[in-house]
Each structure stands twice: as structure tokens, then as C-alpha cells.
Amino acid sequence: MRVRRDPEVSEEVQERRARCIALEKAYVHDVYDTLAPRLVRPRLWPRVHQFLQDLELGSLVADVGKRALPLKAYRDR
């Protein structure tokens, strides 16, 4: 993953930022992307599913529940 270099920030700080971004991608985003397809379909309640389908394109939804994975299927809507 490329990180934009900022000439006003030290090389060490830029390297730390790049490592943080890579770690987040590897241990958060990639894991989430691996788990979500297996967990999303059977667990959505029918009314929740319909509610999400009926939202206008670009609507913002906050999932404040215990399980964040089910809304992943709607992320790109």
C-alpha cells in the first residue's frame, strides 16, 4: 500500500504511518472481508434486510449493535 509522502514530516514518522496502515489492512480490513461473506446472509432479519434495501442510494447507516458484520453486504450501496 502506498502512502503519500509529506516533506514536512520526518521519514521515521512517515514509516510508522505506513506500518500502521499496513497493519490495519492486514489485521482488520482483510480479516473483516474474509469473515463477512460467511456471516452476513443467514443472520439478517427480514425486516432489517428490507429496511436496508429500501434506503436511498448513498444513505448513511450506523450499526451500533454487538455484531457489525451483517451490514457489510450493504457497504457499497
Q: Measure CA of the first residue to CA of the last residue in the chain; give whole Å.
A: 25
Which pTM value belongs to this model? 0.41
Q: Would you tell me how many other CB atoms lie within 10 Å of the CB of residue 36?
A: 17
How confident is the model over 31-65, as pLDDT tens digits? 888 877 776 655 567 788 888 889 998 888 876 65
Confidence check: pLDDT of 1 > 80: no
CA distances from 64 to 22, 23, 75 (A): 26, 24, 15
Q: For the chain, how many helices (H) and strands (E)?
A: 3, 0
Query: So what's the pLDDT on residue 53?
Result: 87
Mean pLDDT of the chain: 76
